[in-house]
Amino acid sequence: MTEKLLLELLRGYKSGDVSEEKILAEVKNFSLATESFGFATIDHGRELRQGFPEVVYAPGKTKEQLKIIFKNLHERSAGNLIASRASREQFDFLRDAVPDAVYDETARMIYVDRDTTLERDERRKILVVTAGTSDVPVAEEARLTAYLWGNAVSTCYDCGVAGIHRLFAHMDEIVAANVIIVVAGMEGALASVVGGLTNRPVIAVPTSVGYGASFNGLAALLAMLNSCAAGIGVVNIDNGFGAGVLASKINRRR
């Protein structure tokens, strides 16, 4: 069930061609509809409830399992699709079953970009900023996620506090953005700096980039949680996907 199909049902009801019972039955069937394959239970109602089909986390799944899940979602939904943290090997295995699937090596994402109803508003742009080039894979996961959820997205990469003038060169983009995702490892200071430069919501993403005492992103996570700049939300270490979804939900509010 998609928003488009639901609208068709409502228009049918308005014209007298569809009964109340039919609409109630369809909504009940699809809003909580699941399909079990033993190793996985696919949530087909998520697109109706949240506006985007179920997203597949690829690690830990065999190539065959991922292929079955992704192919089923492709056939039973109309929106864009994502399999996050996927390998090239997994993509090569399922590409024949889903010919319009694409693999992004940097974001480590298999995706299908097919929703022609999306209108990406350039006036409500999500900006993704990284401290360093090593943070780009997590940032690209955030960028591609936000894009597939229907947002206009731009990026400013490698402008961390070690050369703060690089960040100031992007002040026009920072001021113009509606939501900002800041991706940083090491000590995670960039989120605080950006948070102090804008009145927009900032989503901070700590990464596992850094030397020993960074503790695989824990130092950046704690620094971001303890930021003195107001209006910063923090997601989990390396969770570019979560940041992209949260930014999308914020951006949809008018």
Show the 3-state SS of 24-35: HHHHHHHHCCEE
**What pLDDT score was predicted for residue 254?**
59
Domain locations in the chain as residue ranges = 34-117, 126-252
**What pLDDT score was predicted for residue 248?**
94
Question: Contact, 246 vs 236, CB < 8 A?
Answer: no
**What pLDDT score was predicted for residue 107?**
97
Distant-in-sequence, close-in-space partners of 3: CB < 8 Å, separation ≥ 6: 48, 51
Q: Please give the Cα distance from 234 to 243 (Å, whole number).
A: 8
Q: What is the DSSP code string of 122-190?
A: TTS-EEEEESSGGGHHHHHHHHHHHHHTT--EEEE-S--GGGTHHHHTTHHHHHH-SEEEEEE-TT-TH
Whether residue 115 is predicted with pLDDT greater than 90 in this model: the reply is: no
**What pLDDT score was predicted for residue 30?**
61
Mean pLDDT of the region 145-169:
94
pTM reported for the whole predicted model = 0.85
Question: Contact, 129 vs 182, CB < 8 A?
Answer: yes
Question: Contact, 97 vs 68, CB < 8 A?
Answer: no
Question: Contact, 91 vs 85, CB < 8 A?
Answer: no
103 - beta bridge partners?
A: 110
**131 or 115, which is more confident?**
131
**16 or 97, which is more confident?**
97
Order the strands of the 81-84 sheet from edge to edge. Answer: 56-57, 81-84, 109-112, 102-104
Among 47-56, 105-114, 191-200, the minimum mean pLDDT is found in 47-56
CATH architecture of 126-252: 3-Layer(aba) Sandwich (3.40)
Mean pLDDT of the region 231-243:
96
* Percentage of the residues of the chain whose pLDDT score is greater than 90: 70
**What pLDDT score was predicted for residue 39?**
87
Tens of pLDDT, residue by residue over 195-216, are 999 999 999 999 999 999 999 9
Whether residue 27 is predicted with pLDDT greater than 70 in this model: the reply is: no
What CA–CA distances, in Å, run from 175 to 113, 178, 194? 29, 8, 10
**What pLDDT score was predicted for residue 26?**
66
Among 16-30, 34-48, 94-108, the minimum mean pLDDT is found in 16-30
Place of tokens 């700590």: 206
